[in-house]
């Protein structure tokens, strides 16, 4: 996507200008692109690429803060052409070096390490490449990832063509998607398919499609990426991390969904499954980020408010009830300080601008992180009450996050070693991964495996 689109720049720059260096609003920009009027093809966004803006050429005032998803931390523009992270590190605009590590269930080759062995501690992917940009673990048995060169790779279970490589063969090490495109900038993995955005703002989905979750007005599965039917060029966030539906946000702040809808997870006020994108019922234009769970959806607005809809038997919508809402409903706390949220299988987790992490929903394996197994229909803070979290992610029955000091922590169901702590034990509160590294910058939890990026 060209970052010189005037409407997008205006909207984004207004958000950038309103920020302070007090770690109060930076997370809202997880879906924004900092305006760059010179390097119009530079991939500089929080979700659309890896590079930070060049402070010599971009109109980015000193002191401006943005949250960079690929780095996992808020960064502040400084006078010497660098970005200073709130973790204390200095990031240059051309910092592309990240390693990809994985742990947990290795069945079908989903860890990408050349075998199908389970690992309870982090192990580097087979190629030992250091230019990974962003990665996501699918909720079932595969992984997709993007390099800083814009190439998309996938590995693991390839049923229904979910790897996008033109066949249904399983792979235990990274293989490039069918078209060998170099303009990928964001990916998301579902249990039976995958989705991604390109730098031209187009949205693509591939794999299982029985309920129309590819969005191309068909129900035929595809072994290679297919563009959604509306052929829009203004998508900026996409998620299909659940199983049967896809949701996405446009640069206009609109939120759309498609695929399975029997549990009201599309938020359009119906239970009708959709084979093409349909806008959520409120037609709001201030959505910031969205996450698709197995049968529910959570999203945050630019106002810092949190909403949920869809299946809600365990309270995963966060509205204080167990009733499934068919349109977005605000979390019961009414907080205006949410900066991101992640939907898992039957639970959700989120982070506030004060650096605290909260969880809600089904909690039978401690996946909410409050040291109990009590289901929560409204957000509760994880038991350590830490204020240094910078990103968090919900897996099937476990959760994980990264702190501003670069350490990685997980909690919940430990079977198959998915927590990365060297054992298969469950943990009712956050526990640090076994290597105690301070270089972690991104985490993604799947069904039974975890992938993460580490600064190199």
DSSP assignment of 392-430 equals: EEE-SSEEEEEETTS-EEEEE--GGGTT-SSS---EEEE
Parse the chain into domains and list their residue ranges.
6-91
| Average pLDDT for the chain | 83
Q: Which of 45-54, 127-136, 225-234, 244-253 has the lowest mean pLDDT?
A: 45-54
| Cα–Cα dist 60/452, whole Å | 29
- pLDDT at position 68 is 54
In this predicted model, what pLDDT tens digit does every residue of 69-108 receive, in sequence order? 445 555 667 776 676 765 566 665 544 568 999 999 999 9
Rank 77-86, 228-237, 254-263 by mean pLDDT and report only the highest: 254-263
Cβ–Cβ under 8 Å, residues 387 and 395:
no
Please tell me the total number of residues recorded for the chain in this structure: 456
Does residue 138 contact residue 446 with C-beta atoms inside 8 Å? yes
Question: Which stretches does DSSP call E strand in 228-262?
Answer: 235-239, 245-250, 255-259
pTM: 0.85
Rounded distance, CA 182 to CA 219, Å? 27
What are the phi and psi torsion angles at 10 (to 5°)?
-60, -45
């Amino acid at each position: 996507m060209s970052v010189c689109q005037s409407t997008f720049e205006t909207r984004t720059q207004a958000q950038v200008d309103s920020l302070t260096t007090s770690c109060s609003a930076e997370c809202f920009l997880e879906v924004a692109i900092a305006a760059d009027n010179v390097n119009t093809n530079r991939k500089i966004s929080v979700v659309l690429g890896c590079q930070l803006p060049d402070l010599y050429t971009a109109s980015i005032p000193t002191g401006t803060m943005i949250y960079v998803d690929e780095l996992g931390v808020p960064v502040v523009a400084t006078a010497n052409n660098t970005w200073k992270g709130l973790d204390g590190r200095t990031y240059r605009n051309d910092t592309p070096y990240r390693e990809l590590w994985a742990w947990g269930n290795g069945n079908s080759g989903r860890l990408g390490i050349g075998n199908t062995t389970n690992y309870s501690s982090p192990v580097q992917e087979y190629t030992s490449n250091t230019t990974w940009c962003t990665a996501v673990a699918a909720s079932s048995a595969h992984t997709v990832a993007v390099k800083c060169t814009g190439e998309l790779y996938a590995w693991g279970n390839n049923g229904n063509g979910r790897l996008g490589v033109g066949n249904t063969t399983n792979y235990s090490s990274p293989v490039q998607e069918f078209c060998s495109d170099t303009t990928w900038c964001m990916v998301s993995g579902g249990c039976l398919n995958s989705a991604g955005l390109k730098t031209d703002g187009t949205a693509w989905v591939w794999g299982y499609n029985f309920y129309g979750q590819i969005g191309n007005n068909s129900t035929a599965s595809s072994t290679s990426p297919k563009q959604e039917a509306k052929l829009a060029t203004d998508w900026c966030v996409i998620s299909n991390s659940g199983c049967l539906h896809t949701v996405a946000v446009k640069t206009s702040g609109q939120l759309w969904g498609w695929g399975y809808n029997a549990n009201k997870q599309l938020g359009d006020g119906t239970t009708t499954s959709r084979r093409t994108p349909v806008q959520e019922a409120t037609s709001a234009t201030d959505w910031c980020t969205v996450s698709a769970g197995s049968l529910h959806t959570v999203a945050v607005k630019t106002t810092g408010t949190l909403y949920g809809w869809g299946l809600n038997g365990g309270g995963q919508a966060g509205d204080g009830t167990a009733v499934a809402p068919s349109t977005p409903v605000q979390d019961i706390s009414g907080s205006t300080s949410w900066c991101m949220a992640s939907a898992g299988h039957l639970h959700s987790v989120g982070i506030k601008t004060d650096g605290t992490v909260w969880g809600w929903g089904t909690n039978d394996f401690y996946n909410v992180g409050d040291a109990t197994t009590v289901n929560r229909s409204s957000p509760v803070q994880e038991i350590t009450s830490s204020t240094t979290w910078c990103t968090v992610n919900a897996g099937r029955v476990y959760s994980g996050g990264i702190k501003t000091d670069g350490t990685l922590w997980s909690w919940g169901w430990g079977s198959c070693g998915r927590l990365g702590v060297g054992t298969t034990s469950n943990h009712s509160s956050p526990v640090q991964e076994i290597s105690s590294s301070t270089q972690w910058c991104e985490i993604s939890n799947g069904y039974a495996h975890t992938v993460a990026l580490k600064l190199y």
